[in-house]
Amino acid sequence: MTTATETNTAVRTMTLIQALTEAMDEELARDERIFITGEDVGPRGGVFRATMGLYEKYGPERIVDSPLGEISIAAVGIGAAVAGLRPICEMQFADFIHPAFNQIVSEAAKMYYRSNGHWPLPMVIRAPYGGGIGGGLYHSQSVEAFFAHVPGLKVVIPSTPYDAKGLLKSAIRDNNPVMFFEPKKGYRAIKGEVPDGDYTVPIGPARIAREGTDLSVYAYGMMAHYSTIAAQMVARNHDIDVEVVDIRTLLPLDKETLLKSFKKTGKALIVYEDNLTMGFGAEVAAILADEGFEYMDGPIKRLAGPDVPAVPYSHALQEAFMPNPEKIAAAIRDIIAY
């Protein structure tokens, strides 16, 4: 179900990264307090070209190349937000966010709480995450579970161009620090319709990406895209009717939609590309087991990356690590056969 508020019905087909760029462009034009900072976000347009053309349009005071230091990118954003600006901080890869962890978790997440509501912190930290691009050890990590554990942050992961634009606009307008993780494997691989004009998608509600009755698949980011493909495969080849729940916002989590789907199907598969143990899917499984026990009609299963230190660089080993539509379809068939 779409929850966006649209002001224009004309639509175009664009990639995920084009939708993100358009969201930032429109928000920069709307509010002069917004600026972007990060490594190479200026004339180069960012490592993935998400900010391409914005430096020429808005100038060096609003599209600011930062030093090579993620801790300073986050710290500058926090200081600017406290001073009344609305920064968008770009991490080149989510893998590099760890030096900024203390600033985000100890300062940004707690600023509003410790100031008794006097200092809201309207900042967005954008970070490309996940594997599948042959990036290897330091360019493929999934770090969302670290931040979804922290009250005071919001954690958002889109899987479609429509949601990418609408959710990023909502994140920029939010008065809280928002971690906005982008599935970089899908930057140019995922295409979809995006309406002209201003619209937002609210942070919080999950989306039913595909209606079904036999089993619920819970996923986000690239895995939500893959899960929809897998659902089409098992419907076509095995007459299995799968519902796909695109979680979209990990924190705050839309438990109502998750449980409503589980009540409908009685079977659940949770898919994520982080390491299996203590990844975000463990929280979803716990909620379904705890609050949806009476709906359960089979074991709640997770499909995730193995518990190894990193996504391998070798393409063959990377494929062994990553969930994909074929693996998801096989897991669906196993649960249905229970």
Q: Which of 318, 316, 262 is nearest to 289 (CA)?
A: 262
Candidates 98, 139, 225, 315; catalytic one: 139
Backbone angles phi, psi at 114, to 5 degrees: -75, -20
Structure tokens belonging to residue 147: 């931040």
> What gap in Å lies between CA 291 and CA 276, rounded to an integer?
22
> What gap in Å lies between CA 55 and CA 94, rounded to an integer?
23
Enter the DSSP assignment of 139.
Answer: S
Contact 126, 91 (CB under 8 A): yes
Termini Cα distance of the chain: 30
Q: Is the dihedral of CA 36, 39, 42, 45 positive or negative?
A: negative
Q: Which of 50, 12, 323 is nearest to 191 (CA)?
A: 12
Contact 38, 96 (CB under 8 A): no
Q: What is the Cα gyration radius of the chain?
A: 19
* Known active-site residue 149: no
Q: By CB neighbour count within 10 A (0-12 exposed, 13-18 middle, 19+ buried), where does 287 fall?
A: middle
Q: Rounded to 5 degrees, what angle do the CA atoms 246, 249, 251 make?
A: 140
Contact 322, 273 (CB under 8 A): yes
Which residue's entry shows tokens 């319709």?
193
Contact 177, 121 (CB under 8 A): yes
Which residue's entry shows tokens 């006097």?
118
Catalytic residue positions, numbered: 139
